Amino acid sequence: MTNQKITAPVKATTQSFIEIEDIKDEILLFKDFSAAIIIEVGAVNFWLLSTEEQTSTIYAYAGLLNSLSFPVQALILSKKMDISAYIEYLDKKIVHQHNEILKKRLISYQEFIKNIVKKNTVLEKRFFFVIPFSPLELGISGVNAKTLKKEYVISRAKTSLYPKRDNLLRLLAKIGLRATVLQKQELVELFYNLYNPSATGRLLAPVESYTDTILTS
């Protein structure tokens, strides 16, 4: 009799551990049929502002938060900055620079940037506002959201989230902060890099070009 190696059946896939059900336009739908819109906000170099400007910025931001009539989540992500594209940009400038004095200065500047990155950990920070949608906002039908159709939930989530999105964008612009609503491509890249952490992150090809195998029980 030959001994056969017993292999355990696959009980779960990676999909089981990811809370995201679907991404439609800028709507992030989760498995419990809650949803969210994510807004990325540009940074302000606070320490370059004067004391009066710093105080004004703090009060303006506090006023923004106090004026909101709906919950939001503030999120900060930090990762090591990838300067390879900038180094390549400087390489091209050096090659096409015919003025020897300027060429030497560009080379010196490039080496200066490389040394800074080697000796110090240069971090890139990204700032986000997350506007949530709860299936309980659907009323009694939202208590058992799993019985609802996904398209219906997304439609109702848009109705609830879009006015909040527009209000927050207006308030951010009022205090001089640049804000962008993340669309499907940016959302996929964001969560791909969160679930697959690397030193500098990774850009993905257009999501429509990918073919996925969906495993079901």
Distance CA(67)–CA(171), nearest Å, equals: 9
Token digits of residue 75: 């999120």
Q: Is the pLDDT of residue 64 over 80?
A: yes
Tell me how far apart the alpha carbons of residues 37 and 181 are, in angstroms, rounded to a whole number. 7
Task: Take residue 106 and report the two structure tokens written for it.
Answer: 């560009």
Q: Residue 132's pLDDT is what?
A: 95
d(CA 199, CA 81): 8
What's the rounded Cα separation, in Å, for the pair 197 and 79?
A: 9
3-class secondary structure, 175? coil
Average pLDDT, the chain: 83
Q: For the segment 101-129, what is each residue's pLDDT rounded down to a tens digit?
A: 998 999 999 898 888 877 777 777 889 99
Residue 10 is given by DSSP the state: P
- 144-180 tens-digit pLDDT: 666 778 888 899 999 999 999 999 999 999 888 899 9
- Rounded (5°) CA angle 13-15-20: 165
pLDDT reported for residue 147: 72
pLDDT at position 97, please? Answer: 86
- pLDDT score for 199: 63
In this prediction, residue 125 carries a pLDDT of: 86
Give the pLDDT confidence of 2-38 residue by residue, as tens digits: 555 555 555 555 666 788 888 988 999 998 889 999 9
Nearest Cα to Cα of residue 37 among 152, 126, 143, 169: 169
Q: In this predicted model, which residue has the larger pLDDT, 123 or 212?
A: 123
